[in-house]
Amino acid sequence: MSGLIPREFINELLVRVDIVDLIDSHLPLKKTGANFVARCPFHTEKSPSFSVNRSKQMFHCFGCGASGNAIGFLMDFNHLDFVEAVEDLAAFVGIDVPRETSSASYQNEPKKQDLSQLYSVMEQVAAFYVQQLRDSVEAVDYLKARGISGTIARDFMLGYAPTQWRPLLERFDTKALTDCGLLGSNDSGEVYGRFRGRLMFPIRDKRGRIVGFGGRVLDDSLPKYLNSPETSLFSKGKEVYGLYELLAKNSKPPRILLVEGYMDVVALAQFGLDYAVAVLGTAASGAHLDLLFRFSAELVFCFDGDKAGQTAAWRLVETALPYLKDGRSCRIMTLPPQHDPDSLIREQGLDLFTKQIETTTPLSDYFFEHLTSTLNLSETEGQSQLGEKAKKYLEKLPESIFKELMLERLKKLGITKLDALKNTAALSKKPNKQRQRPEQGRQPLPRLILALLIQYPELIEIIEQREIDWSSLKFDGVEKFNSILQIILRERPANTGALLECYRGHPDEAIIKQLEVLQLEIPASHNVAEFAGALDKLVIQFTEDRRKSLLKKLETTGLTPQEKEQLQKLLSFKG
């Protein structure tokens, strides 16, 4: 990204697009009344519960609860991040995405057209490496010895970087090669080719663009693997090898196997296992897990059976805990000694290897086995140690049924004093309950008004026509009520879809999404009258409550000068 996308452009884009046309191009819609419906693409169902509303420019599934605007649909349907979804939506309506270049944090990044050039260079270099592979007897013999067919080599676009790297300079610009991470320089400033005499594995992002390379030597020299450095195209902490190839075969795989090396991914694909990916010379990060969970609800992590492998496995368990929402699962697959995935599948065959993946240790089992392996749970001291160890890890879990089950399992191991852990869960839930309480029906009029306003933002004009002193109305949730009013007044969203975008990532996003789909049972032609009536009732209701409160105080403790003035105004109010 060469700069921030202006908010004004995003608002304009959401006005230009018709969400019905967009979704219909991905998922055939059928008109039913005022809405368009289809079977939900985000969960399995027999009858349509996925609804798209043209006037509100939003979608909602009454089955699984998925909802959002055009940008949100592309993010969920095509597994894109926000910027990618905006770019795709802009392409859908045929306009370019502008970028703000004044932000200091982006001043040193290359311009957008430079990134396009770099992607082009990477594609051409990959083609060059493919040609070099065909001409290299040594590299071809290596692949044949590893049992890699020409078809698999083609699917993964395998290539070869010759020892003589200078032919690259004859074909491409030195600066572009350097920006792509293909050239480096030593302390003397001399340029050299980063990849020499190596089998080359292009690393493609989920959109198929080549962002980096991995290179493997053909012998036992070190380093065995060499990766592209961090560039404007490539961040090894965010990409995984083989994901694009996996998604090309199955966009929604039932599980994803995470292995260590490029060659493992390729070799497993050769044997028919086409759902393996590899991290890029680093431990799997939260960003890696978040990316993979976009495409599959089950991740299986494959580790060597030695001490280093066990250390890496536990480190990954710690990393995975905050990402284990309900519906997601992880398994830990430990390989037999002296085996890697490549050698094991050759020895066992695909069926046995697959069965081992399917029956390998669930993360929950691995978690408790690891914590209890050195403890004596028949002793009070051992139970105390387990409770203390488990607490710091289980606190990382998001509030979910899975977390409750983990706590119950801890209880079955003899840890009956779970108050500390339960208090932690309660504290994390309490703020959410406090935030949601006003909007969940304790004040039906404010809730109705906000729901109408969110679903029909143009109703804000009615509020502007009334001189309402909101600060004088004291009701549960008035601060949140005012906050939402102010954002709508400031942003002037054209429809609900545009309003949703104002709240992307906002602390109140959940409230807005809850009210945007609230069934009001009010005909669209009656919204204005219903909204105006509810607004008047709200003012009258809380004006009367305040008037009674002040009159009661007048009879007991007396009023301050300010309160007397306020009471006089309230007594003259004709509601």
Residue 40 DSSP code: -
Mean pLDDT of 146-150: 95
Cis (ω within 30 of 0) for the bond into 223? Answer: yes
CATH class of 112-227: alpha beta
Q: Give backbone dihedrals phi and psi of 139, rounded to 5 degrees, phi first.
A: -70, -40
Question: 141: Cβ–Cβ under 8 A, 6 or more apart, which residues?
Answer: none
> How far is Cα 475 from Cα 240, in angstroms, rounded to an integer?
51
Is the four-CA dihedral 506, 512, 517, 518 of positive or negative sign? positive
Look at residue 418 in the predicted model and tell me its pLDDT.
Answer: 55
Number of residues in the chain: 575
Compute CA distances 22 → 19, 25, 116, whole Å: 5, 5, 26
Q: How many whole angstroms separate alpha carbon 455 and alpha carbon 451?
A: 6
| CA distance linking residue 437 with residue 431, whole number of Å | 10
**Rounded CA separation 43/67 (Å):** 13
Reduced to 3 states (helix: H, G, I; strand: E, B; else coil), residue 58 is strand
| Average pLDDT of span 490-509 | 90
Does the pLDDT value for residue 350 go beyond 90? yes
State the SS3 of 407-469: HHHHHHCCCCCCHHHHHHHHHHHHHHHHHHHHHHCCCHHHHHHHHHHHHCHHHHHHHHHCCCC
Distance CA 185, CA 164 (A): 16
Q: Which fold has domain 243-367?
A: Dna Topoisomerase Vi A Subunit; Chain: A, domain 2 (3.40.1360)
The pair of three-digit structure tokens given for residue 171, joined into one six-digit string: 């074909």
Residue 473 pLDDT: 67
CATH 1.10.860.10 describes domain 438-572: yes
Q: What is the pLDDT of residue 438?
A: 36
| Tens digits of residue pLDDT in 307-330 | 888 999 999 999 999 999 888 999
With a cut of 60, say whether residue 102 has pLDDT above it: no
Give the residue extent of every domain in the chain.
Answer: 7-93, 112-227, 243-367, 380-436, 438-572
User: What global pTM score does this model have?
Assistant: 0.67
Instruction: Tell me: pLDDT of 508 over 50.
Output: yes
For the segment 10-51, what is each residue's pLDDT rounded down to a tens digit? Answer: 988 998 899 998 999 888 899 998 899 999 998 888 889 999
Q: What is the DSSP letter of 108?
A: T
Position 263 scores a pLDDT of 93
Tokens, residue 538? 């709200």
Q: Which residue has the higher pLDDT, 532 or 256?
A: 256
Indicate the SS3 state at residue 398. coil
| pLDDT tens string 376-413 | 888 888 888 998 889 889 988 988 889 999 999 988 88
State the sign of the Cα–Cα–Cα–Cα dihedral 88, 89, 93, 99.
negative
Fold of the 7-93 domain: DNA Primase; Chain A (3.90.580)
| pLDDT tens track for 185-213 | 888 889 999 999 999 999 998 888 999 99
With contact defined as beta carbons under 8 Å apart, do 16 and 97 qualify?
Answer: no
Q: Are 410 and 390 in contact (CB under 8 A)?
A: yes
- Mean pLDDT lowest among 178-182, 327-331, 481-485: 481-485
How far from chain centre, in Å, is Cα 221?
39
Percent of all residues in the chain with a pLDDT value above 70, rounded to a whole number? 90
Q: Does 438-572 match 7-93 at the fold level?
A: no
Q: What pLDDT, in 10s, does the model give residues 71-90?
A: 999 998 888 889 989 988 98
Q: What is the pLDDT of residue 353?
A: 97
Cα angle 181-187-189, degrees, rounded to a multiple of 5:
65
Q: For the chain, how far is it from start to end, CA to CA, in angstroms?
A: 55
- Spell out a b/e string for 125-136, using b for 16 or more CB atoms within 10 Å of the CB, else e: bbebbbebbeeb
Over the stretch 241-266, which tens digit does the pLDDT of each residue have? 999 999 889 888 999 999 988 999 99
User: Mean per-residue pLDDT for 549-554?
Assistant: 79
| pLDDT score, position 132 | 97
Instruction: With cut-offs at 50, 70 and 90, classify the pLDDT of residue 237.
Output: confident
CA dihedral 418, 423, 429, 435 (to 10 degrees): 170
Query: DSSP E strands: which ranges in 191-292?
Result: 191-193, 198-204, 210-217, 225-227, 256-259, 276-278
